[in-house]
Chain A
Amino acid sequence: MGLNERLLGDLQEAVRKDPELAVVGKFFTCDLLLGSGERHFLLRFREGDLAEIIPNPLPVVPWRVAIKAPEETWEKFLQNPPPPEFHDIWAATWLGHMTLEGDTKVLMQHHLAIWRTLKLLRETASVNFAAA
């Protein structure tokens, strides 16, 4: 299982409850696209809040940074603990399992907040998996 609407909906709640993003997210305003195989999700962050999630946005809808990978890569990325090579977006990108697209500078500017968001995504996936 890669990314899906339920998981990202739960991520929205996790982002809103996260004390760390409350500390570091003040300037986290960014449109981030996550691509899981053919499925895309646009995450609109506003001042640290995950304000809006748009599943499969039309191609003309803009974003600043995209993280794209096959579903199998996200599946490994979301395991807890994840296997080597799939535990981090740099690791997966470096070793050819994932791509980073868009404005690299924007990714670097918001890296800490994006990193934290993806940690929450893994934690959320673990909780969902345990509950399933």
Chain B
Amino acid sequence: MGANVSPVTGRYVDVEVEGETYEVFFLENGEGIPLLCQHTAGAHNHQFRNLLRDPEVTENFRVIAYDLPYHGKSDPPHGKEWWKEQYDLTSSFFQEFVLNLSEALDLDRPVFMGSSMGGVLCLHLARNHPESFRALIALEAADFTPGFYLDWWAHPEINDGELASSVVEGLMAPQTSELDRRLTMWYYSQAAPGVLKGDLYFYSAEHDMRETIGEIDTRKVPLYMLTGEYDYLSTPTQSEATAEKIEGAKFEAMREIGHFPMSENHETFMGYVAPILQEIRSADRVAGSA
């Protein structure tokens, strides 16, 4: 292939969730331990564009960044009249989706990494399905993240794309490059109407693990938490307080990063996530040799 053809490939896979079939689009690159990557609310898999192209990651990990149904190139279900229902993402749908996607791709206990609603999902998967994952990397997560399930995200008198993009800009660190900042904003202007709000049902209305977070057993699955210092939705203080309730969870605050680590500043993010990926590899080798 030509020198300018990316090694990142895009394909579709059918995934069954709650009795419906979804044609799910995913980007992938690399070989080794599968690393499933979940984008933030109202966004899509381009948030992981730099991780997908980084040889430091892809030489040991098969990076798979998918679009959740209704996002990016993953359509709503073809077999259902989705336009007659309010799109509100639920914890049960979200967890079943990830488990069935992993099965559909024949992945052996992948590492799962997600940011914001994806980070919060890590906490649910850690508690409910630890056996299905090699490790969980929760970015920008806390046990309780209220306040963002707002009608303003889907209102006929408001340009939802302009609102969403300019609001999420305030969740980024000011040190973010102009290109990364504008691309992250761009992804937020691309969501179909109501999808951002519907995702935030899970994140801000349903999600509340204040009473159950201590049930996570990190002996069954390692849990890593990373939070950017400029994130005001789940601040480092809140993420750290969450991690302290989970025996064995590892937390680190990230400097000069906000709510979208992988999309804001790949180089800075790698400074924090690369040692985690290395630790996961080392643990894997030990387990493999046992």
Name 22 interchain pairs, CB-CB below 8 A, sorted by A.
A24-B162, A80-B174, A81-B173, A82-B174, A84-B232, A84-B235, A87-B173, A87-B174, A88-B169, A89-B170, A90-B170, A90-B232, A94-B147, A95-B232, A95-B235, A105-B152, A109-B158, A115-B166, A115-B167, A115-B169, A115-B170, A116-B166
Across-interface contacts of A95 in B (CB, < 8 A): 232, 235
Interface range, B side:
20 to 34
Describe B's contact surface by its main secondary structure.
loop
State whether A94 and B152 are in contact (beta carbons under 8 Å apart), knowing that A89-B170, A111-B167, A112-B166 are contacts in the complex: no
Q: Scoring A residues 79 to 112 as 1 if CB is less than 8 Å from chain B, else 0, what string do you get? A: 0111011011111001100000000110011011
Q: Is the CB of B167 within 8 A of A90?
A: yes
Q: Scoring B residues 225 to 263 as 1 if CB is less than 8 Å from chain A, else 0, what string do you get? A: 000011011010000000000000000000000000000
Across-interface contacts of B155 in A (CB, < 8 A): 105, 108
In the complex, how many residue pairs between chain A and chain B have their CB atoms under 8 Å apart? 60
Q: Which residues of A contact B (CB under 8 A)?
A: 24, 80-82, 84-85, 87-91, 94-95, 104-105, 108-109, 111-112, 115-116
Min C-beta distance of B31 to chain A, whole Å: 38
Partner of A111, one of B166, B171, B175: B166
Q: Is the CB of B152 within 8 A of A108?
A: yes
Min C-beta distance of B178 to chain A, whole Å: 11
Q: Scoring B residues 141 to 167 as 1 if CB is less than 8 Å from chain A, else 0, what string do you get? A: 000000100001001011100110111
